[in-house]
Chain A
Amino acid sequence: MNRFLLMILLVFTAPAIYGQQRSVSGQVIDASTREALPNATISIVGQTGSAQLTNEAGNFVITINGRANLVVSYAGYEPSTVAVTAGQTNITVSLTKLVAGMDEVVVIGYGTQKRKDITSAISSISADQIAEMPVTSVNMAMQGRVPGLQITSGGNQPGAGTIALIRGINSINTVNGPLYVVDGVITTGDIRELNPDDIESIDVLKDASAAAIYGSRASEGVILITTKKAKIGRASINYHGYYGVQKVVKAFDFIDGKDYELLRRLAYYDEGGNKMFLNDTTSDKRFERQIFSSLELESIRNGKSYDWPSRILQVAPITSHTISVSNGNDKNRIYLSGNYYDQDGIIKNSNFKRYSITSNGETMITQALKASINLNIAHTDNKILNQEVYYNALTMSPLYPFTDAQGNNTVVLDPTVGTSDAIINNPEILTRNPQIKNNDRILGNIAFEYKIIKDLLFRTSFATDIYYDKTMYYAPRTVNVNKSYTLGGYGSIANFNYRDFTSENTLSYNFKLNKDHDFSALAGFTFEKRRQEWNAMYGSGFPSDKTTYKNMALASNRDIVSDFFNWAIQSQLARVIYKFKDRYVFNASIRRDGVSYFGENNRFGVYPSFSAAWRLIDEPFMNAVKLKGVLSDAKIRSGYGVVGSYNRTYESVYSKMAPSAYPFNSSTAVTGYQVDFYRLANKDLKWENQKQFNLGLDLSFLNNRILFNADYYKKNNQNLLMDLQLAPSSPYNYKTINVAAMSTKGFEFRIKADVIKTQNFTWQSEFNFSTYKSQVTKLLAGVDSLRPNLKAGEAPNSLIIDYVYDGIYQISDSVAARAAGALPGSVRIKDLNGDGKYNMYDMTTIGRTTPKGWGGFWNYWNYKGFGLTVFANYMFGHSIFNKAWQDYQYSNGRRLLMKEGMNFWTEKITDARGNVIVEENTNTNIPRPNAFGKAVKTLPGGTSSFAVQKGDFIKVRNITLSYDFSKTLIDKAKLRSLTLYVQFLDPFTITKYTGVDPEISQLPSGGSWSGASYDIYPRYKTTLIGVKVGL
């Protein structure tokens, strides 16, 4: 601060020491290595436009009037002010490198703070960390890197979304995900439109004391994204591009047509014991014709088998190009960037493309007034295949030929099923007809900062988030959608769009009372308004497949749906940060939100927070410890805050009528209305809120070579919204009420170390671990379980509830089997309540989907410009309901099985002529094949604990080998930097889980953890090469 005062003093005294014009030359060097620093900025205090840069050798020449004070700055170094005395013509300025982490600036919401002064739990990710791995989205860049943050991919299909959970689940019914704030603008969704290459830093506000400044929307944490801005200095152009190929990782190994044929025969034989199904000796083959289609019979005759999954898979390219331009002086700065990203899916015809432009600029209009603009415009083009595609390919009869004699895809008909469901959509036809999803998004803000008086800054910004989402789909005649198969095509167009306008006005004031008291105050007012529209049209019965969804008017059956909403949020906020003796930091904030989406009684909510930090290391009594150099930093943080959760919906608050037309006299339907009984209106609804306590410790050792951060937290979520199931006779289905409560305790830490640090070789390592335990503490009065997977005392929606698998009924168990309505060879389950019946009262908790712990492990080695990065993440202690694994072993005669499924239970079976079809096999846990579900009849839901597996895994996400070209080579090519790299993404996973991906737990739209893994898009691994060039 002394330096600052000195500067102020100098500004005012500068005119008095005017003298004659003269040149001063000098060099800027690194204080420790004595190496020259090229492109460092030199400027004369109080003289705008005087800035200039050092040359390649770190030298500069500057013209001054007599005496002057020079400010020298260089990225990553502490700036220095040097007084040039009269007569001095040559100076050497040595700059000290900033200690990593200590003076790093952290974005805290409506402001910034130095890392060393942070009082709450905030984790940051730098541009360098983001650049390590080519990722499609902000979320994926954070995966495994931020303690306490859990990123789950929504699937492997290109463009699939991600779900971020900060410190676990905070609500029972809705998972909105964290609040994303881009350059100060509160946005919606996971911001996948943003090119990760354009991000300067990500700061994650994890605890309530940090997030409370965002009030009613912050209960799931806040992710602050700062995009890249130009640095003062030489203009630069950067290019980053990569190209790679993705290959499927096969999860299951399937049987061929011959085994499939056997299973189908056995499955039908099993029902009635008719040996004609095993070997049809009738002249017209009428038994075979009942269970095989003519195409299948032809394949059987010719001994053909078709590998459908391979038919739709491909080795898929992925490519990205980003070019950015940056230029700035002390008055104007501009950063421009463009990105093209194109990823093909490993299933043919799935694809994700993104085109984005970022432009950030700022200008000093006067000394006191600054204007800035941040603008991101993106277009994404996503071709999405129905999940059914891969499932159909996997379950398809391998006896079905890919095409008919003419080379056309056949319409596949299951001869054993009698309704329109019999049409199994040919996976290859499905791949030709993806859903097309286009997004356009403009995210931007214009801000003015006006320094009213010294240290009093007024900032006003207008931000907009314009989002347009359009999905289009057409299923031709050969595809069965909602049984519209024969209706002549099915088309749909859906438009969703919103426009957010946000006005933010803040006043901030920083002042020091004397040397010991440092205040920083903020007060603000914000207002946000959204207009949101959704409309969709669906049509079927097109005269031809030629026009597809592009001419919906041609459809003979048409449906239209639409809605239209406004939302408004108005807030006041304030914060005071008080620092005493630079060692004790106190932070208090408050926000009051008023929203339109609750009834008039509960429109306003208040969110206070308080936090403090004690910089133990700076206490005089620690000097001795500090001097020894073992402990270089020590800080204790603690905070408490209240935050809210939002759920943008009016559905639960207002009652409404729905259309319900009726065709009297069998003619055109006339308008009618029915009550929408789905929810009973509740005008007393209010926010869910969360109170969280956080205790943190930051330590660093050996001159900051080892950094350690740990946080413990405890949070209580209250007034959680639940859909109370009403009696169907009421006749409402649900009423949304504020009722439930849950609590979470968690712990997370991170260790970062420069393990080896020599001239030529460095090894950096980072490890993080997170764990939490959540439990529902309150549901409804007197009720401890609302639905099977939601119980008091357990983490919400985390339970897998089903029957307990108890082996296979053997011949010797015939009596017991019969009593259960089954036969030997059927699945046996435990009759838990011993009432002799098998029904839902025998279901119990057979697994928990919340992990006991997870984290990441990152290593970086560098030897003379050769770099190697290995990054892995891990998770353990969770179960996955691997239904696919059961389904691909239990034969119903129609589904394709994996090879393990051939080890099914059976007695010795011979055909009518006495030929052995299968030998006895009773020592197994797989039931007999049966086409009519009889072998799993004891399982009313069709599943049991058989399908539950441990999900523990270590997944190597990234191995990168890079080379930074030497300076001499670069200089010859007139480049600033050049890096080449080869990268292997998701090369292997260590896990006992036998499904597609132990990391993907599908989150259904309702937001509850199903933990189920089923017919999902297969996993793949990627190999790519990339280049980064700086000009």
Chain B
Amino acid sequence: MKSIHILYTFIFTVTVISVISGCRKELEYVPESYLSPEQVYADEAGSIAGITGIYKQFQTLKKSEHSLLGNIGTDEGKTTEFVPTWGGYWLQLSALSSYDKTQLSAQSDVVYYYWQRLYQAVGNANVAIRYISAGTVAEPVKSRLLGEARFLRAMGYFYLVQYFGDIPMPTDTPDADKEENGYPRTPAADVYQLITSDLQYASDNLPDKSKMEKGRTNKQAAQALLGKVYLTIKDYPNAKKALDPLLNTSETRLMDNFADLFKEENENNIESLFEFQYTTESGHTQNITEILGSWNMGSNQPGGGGHVALPTAYAANIYPLQDSFRKGATLRSVYYDGNGNPGLNDWWRDAGKPHIKKYEQKANQQSNASSRNVYYLRYADVLLMYAEVLNETGQTTQALPYINQVRRRAKVDDLQTVIGNTPTQQQLRDSLVTERMKELMFEGWRWFDLKRWGLLVQRTKMYNTDAANNMEEPKHLLYPIPYTELIANKRITNQNSGY
């Protein structure tokens, strides 16, 4: 009895002691399934993967109705009559087209998501720049990666500063206090300072387009975007300086045929400087094709394929008879079901009105899961920007050849046939207003172009009936700072005027 007594006591004691000693270590557990930024950016492969993640942010931003910003709420595009009837979020989206007094407010979820996603893109770029700058990645890869990150950050800030004016501006220098309590509004001029310095770095350090993997940003894209930024802030000499190298490079040129620009087999073509990549892979598709009411090819059920936005009546009629190639590649008026039978979508409220055809996809694809890429910058834009720079610096006649390059590719007569051989500066400005719409319709630039020209409110009220009664200047030259930002950011107290 006695020995058993001792044995039990011994077993219990051993058990207790072993458990006690084992568990202290267990408390110091760090979750195994979490990957920290330090682990990711520890080597070159990780750093490259981090940069990849920034591209993804823009792919997400651009894949659905957010890509309509820039197109709708202008003289070029509007939401369909259906959209407000879906209520809630969609009502708010339609307000970006109609500038509805109650729905376009700081509470707009559409504006909020747009803001949030751009800042997450910028945030990822900041993290990448921070870790790669301090990291061990060898040159020339290091400069290339930083160039990509800085290009993408500039792209994010360029959208933000144009839409919102003075904005919070986190950079790659971490600031724990501001992360928690908020970054103050930085004057737009300072934001442009960061954007131009980022793009200058990218232009200097990124390899040529042909040396970069397709779909990545590159020297030529950086130059073009830098030119666009300078043009926007009306710094014409610097804009010209930035764009000049693009006119004498073999890295890019116009495609021969306008319609070929919008064929899936020609994605990442010679004219394209930078475009957002989509594939058939789950998570990498876009539904712009669907929301623009494109052909409902893959579905053999009625109802697949929607229509959220379409050109205004003005835009739909902007192409003169001669401009049929661009018109034919840009607009559609006939709809098909999956079997190729026309006319099934006649229950659309806006049935019969032309829709955008540019994002049309190959047959047998789900329209809401399209693999079509979306352009950001292409060479035709560069030529038109260059013409604008020349015109604004008084070199109106010198600007004509650049516009004509674009028009000739579209098989349209030279601009001189319309406005004569010696147009005035204003005549050329007016021509650019329509030329850019005809060339770049629904490629995301219209809102910014109009704002740059000081025509946003005037022309939108004139050609977009939904907005006619609602738009005000200067209120609608900026979007409202989202409500969540105003509430959560202790260093922002002022809303954009009018909201």
- Residue ranges of A at the interface with B (Cβ–Cβ < 8 Å): 286, 289-290, 366, 368-369, 411, 413, 415-423, 450, 452, 458, 460, 483, 485-487, 503, 505, 525, 527, 529, 540, 557-559, 562-568, 570, 594-596, 600, 603, 650, 654-657, 660-675, 677, 680, 724-732, 735, 821, 837-840, 931-933, 937, 940, 942
The verdict on B290 contacting chain A, using a C-beta distance below 8 Å, is: yes
Distance of A726 from chain B, by nearest CB (Å): 6
Q: Are A660 and B52 in contact (CB under 8 A)?
A: yes
Cβ–Cβ contact A674 & B33, under 8 A? no
Q: Which residues of chain A have C-beta atoms less than 8 A from B305's C-beta? A: 419-420
The tally of residues in B whose CB lies under 8 Å from a CB in A reads 111
CB distance from B379 to the nearest CB of A (A): 19
Q: Is the CB of B347 within 8 A of A666?
A: no
Closest to B275 in A: A666
Q: Which of B49, B116, B170, B308 has the most CB of A within 10 A?
A: B49
Contacts A663-B278, A821-B102 known; list 12 others, CB within 8 Å: A413-B303, A486-B301, A570-B27, A655-B37, A664-B213, A664-B214, A666-B278, A675-B53, A724-B488, A727-B484, A731-B116, A933-B87
Residues in A with CB closer than 8 Å to B54 are: 674
Asked if B282 and A557 make an inter-chain contact with CB atoms under 8 angstroms apart, the answer reads yes
Contact of B15 among A505, A566, A675 (CB under 8 A): A505
Q: How far is the CA of A732 from the CA of B300 in the complex (A)?
A: 43
* CB-based contact B366/A729 at 8 Å: no
Contact of B488 among A289, A413, A565, A728 (CB under 8 A): A728
Interface centre among B24, B127, B347 (most CB of A within 10 A): B347
Contacts of B5 in A (CB 8 A): 368
* Contact status B307-A418, CB under 8 Å: yes
CB distance from A273 to the nearest CB of B (A): 15
- Report the minimal beta-carbon distance from A968 to chain B, rounded to whole angstroms: 52
Instruction: Report the minimum CB–CB distance from B14 to chain A (whole Å).
Output: 11
CB neighbours (8 Å) of B85 from chain A are 416-417, 931-933
User: Out of A450, A460, A567, A674, which one reaches B124, CB within 8 Å?
Assistant: A674
Partner of A730, one of B103, B127, B182, B279: B182
Cβ of B281 under 8 Å from chain A: yes
How far does the Cβ of A469 sit from chain B's closest Cβ, in whole Å? 18
Are B180 and A728 in touch, CB under 8 angstroms? no
- Asked if B366 and A731 make an inter-chain contact with CB atoms under 8 angstroms apart, the answer reads no
Contacts of B12 in A (CB 8 A): 450, 458, 460, 505
**In the bound complex, how far is the Cα of B172 from the Cα of A731, in angstroms?**
12
Tell me if A570 and B55 are in contact (CB < 8 A): no
B55: chain A residues at CB < 8 Å are 662, 664, 672
Q: Is B216 engaged at the interface, CB distance under 8 Å to the other chain?
A: yes
Are A570 and B84 in touch, CB under 8 angstroms? Answer: no
B138 within 8 A of A: no
B371 contacts partner chain A, Cβ-Cβ < 8 Å: yes
> B368, A483: Cβ atoms under 8 Å?
yes
Question: Would you call A665 and B485 a contact (CB within 8 A)?
Answer: no
List of A residues within 8 angstroms of B489 by Cβ: 727, 729-730
Interface residues of chain B, those whose CB is within 8 Å of chain A, are 1, 4-5, 8-9, 12, 15-16, 19-20, 22-24, 26-37, 39-40, 46, 49-57, 59, 80, 82, 84-88, 91, 101-103, 105, 107, 112, 115-116, 119-120, 122-124, 127, 167-168, 170, 178-180, 182-183, 213-216, 267-268, 277-279, 281-284, 290-291, 298-308, 346-349, 366, 368-369, 371, 373, 482-485, 487-489, 492
B180 touches A663 (CB 8 A): no
Instruction: Give Cα A933 to B57, complex, Å.
Output: 34
A981 to chain B, nearest CB (A): 49
A411-B301, A666-B278, A838-B102 are contacts. A418–B284 as well, Cβ < 8 Å? no
Q: Which residue of A lies closest to B307 (CB)?
A: A418
* A727:B183 contact, CB within 8 angstroms: yes
B8 touches A369 (CB 8 A): yes
| CB contact under 8 A between A594 and B27, given known A565-B33, A662-B56, A663-B215 | yes
B123 close to A677 (CB less than 8 A) = yes
Chain A's closest residue to B16 (CB) is A505
How long is the Cα–Cα vector from A458 to B12 in the complex, in angstroms? Answer: 9
* Closest residue on chain B to residue A423 by CB atoms: B303
Contacts of A677 in B (CB 8 A): 120, 123
Q: Which residues of A contact B86 (CB under 8 A)?
A: 417, 421
A-chain residues with CB within 8 Å of residue B268 when the two chains form the complex:
665-666
Q: Is the CB of A730 within 8 A of B27?
A: no
Q: Which residues of B contact A563 (CB under 8 A)?
A: 33
Q: Does A503 contact B29, Cβ atoms closer than 8 Å?
A: no
Distance A562 CA – B12 CA, assembled complex (angstroms): 39
Question: Which of chain B's residues have a CB closer than 8 A to the CB of A839?
Answer: 102, 105, 107
Q: Which residue of B has the minimal Cβ distance to A567?
A: B29
Report if A680-B179 is in contact (Cβ < 8 Å); known contacts: A664-B277, A727-B489, A821-B102. yes
Q: B304 contacts which of A286, A420, A566, A596 (Cβ < 8 Å)?
A: A420
Interface centre among A566, A660, A821, A942 (most CB of B within 10 A): A660
Within 8 Å CB of B39, what residues of A? Answer: 657
Q: Quick one: closest B residue to A368, CB to CB?
A: B5
List residues of chain A with CB within 8 A of the CB of B56. Answer: 660-662, 672, 674
B52 near A656 (CB under 8 angstroms)?
Answer: no
Complex formed: what's the CA distance from A525 to B46 in Å? 44
Find out whether the CB atom of B101 lies under 8 angstroms from the CB atom of A821: yes
A603 touches B281 (CB 8 A): no
Question: Mind listing 19 A-B residue pairs with CB under 8 Å?
Answer: A413-B303, A418-B348, A450-B9, A486-B299, A505-B12, A525-B16, A527-B19, A529-B26, A661-B52, A662-B56, A664-B277, A665-B215, A669-B283, A670-B52, A672-B50, A674-B56, A674-B124, A677-B123, A729-B183
Q: Contacts of A422 on B, CB cut-off 8 Å?
A: 303
CA of A730 to CA of B488, assembled, Å: 10
CB nearest to A787 among chain B residues:
B487
Residues of A within 8 A of B482 (CB): 728
A603 to B23, CA, bound (A): 13
The answer to whether A665 and B214 touch across the interface, beta carbons within 8 angstroms, is yes
| Complex Cα gap A932–B103 (Å) | 14
Tell me whether A728 and B485 are in contact (CB under 8 A).
yes
Could you tell me the distance between the alpha carbons of A949 and B484 in the complex, rounded to whole angstroms? 30
Closest A residue, CB atoms, query B107 = A840
Query: CB distance B87 to A729 under 8 Å?
Result: no
Closest to A941 in B: B88
> In the docked arrangement, what's the CA distance between A529 and B19, Å?
11
Q: Which residue of A lies closest to B160 (CB)?
A: A729
Report the minimum CB–CB distance from A431 to chain B (whole Å). Answer: 21
Contact B9 A452, beta carbon cutoff 8 Å: yes
A748 and B366 CA atoms in complex are apart in Å by 61
* Cβ–Cβ contact A657 & B40, under 8 A: yes
Chain B residues whose C-beta falls within 8 Å of the C-beta of A942 in the assembled complex: 87-88
Q: How far is the CA of A505 from the CA of B23 in the complex (A)?
A: 14
Does A568 lie within 8 Å of B52, measured CB to CB?
no
Given A420-B306, A673-B53, A725-B487: A663 touches B284 (CB 8 Å cut-off)? yes
Pair A662/B53 contact, Cβ less than 8 Å: yes
Centre residue among A286, A563, A564, A664 by max chain B CB count within 10 A: A664
Asked if residues A940 and B107 are in contact (CB atoms below 8 Å), the reply is: yes
The residue on A at minimum CB distance from B85 is: A932
Give the CA-CA distance A672 to B50 in the complex, in Å: 6
| Distance between B40 CB and nearest chain A CB, rounded to angstroms | 5
Query: A730 touching B49 by the CB < 8 A rule?
Result: no
Which residue of chain A has the shortest Cβ distance to B47 in the bound complex? A673
Which of A660, A729, A821, A933 neighbours the largest number of chain B CB atoms within 10 Å of its CB?
A729
Task: Say whether A668 contacts B180, CB under 8 Å.
Answer: no
Contacts A503-B15, A525-B20, A667-B279 given; indicate if A485 touches B304 (C-beta within 8 A): yes
Contact B32 A564 (CB under 8 A): yes
**B8 touching A731 by the CB < 8 A rule?**
no
Instruction: Quote the shortest CB–CB distance from A578 to chain B (angstroms).
Output: 26
A480 to chain B, nearest CB (A): 10
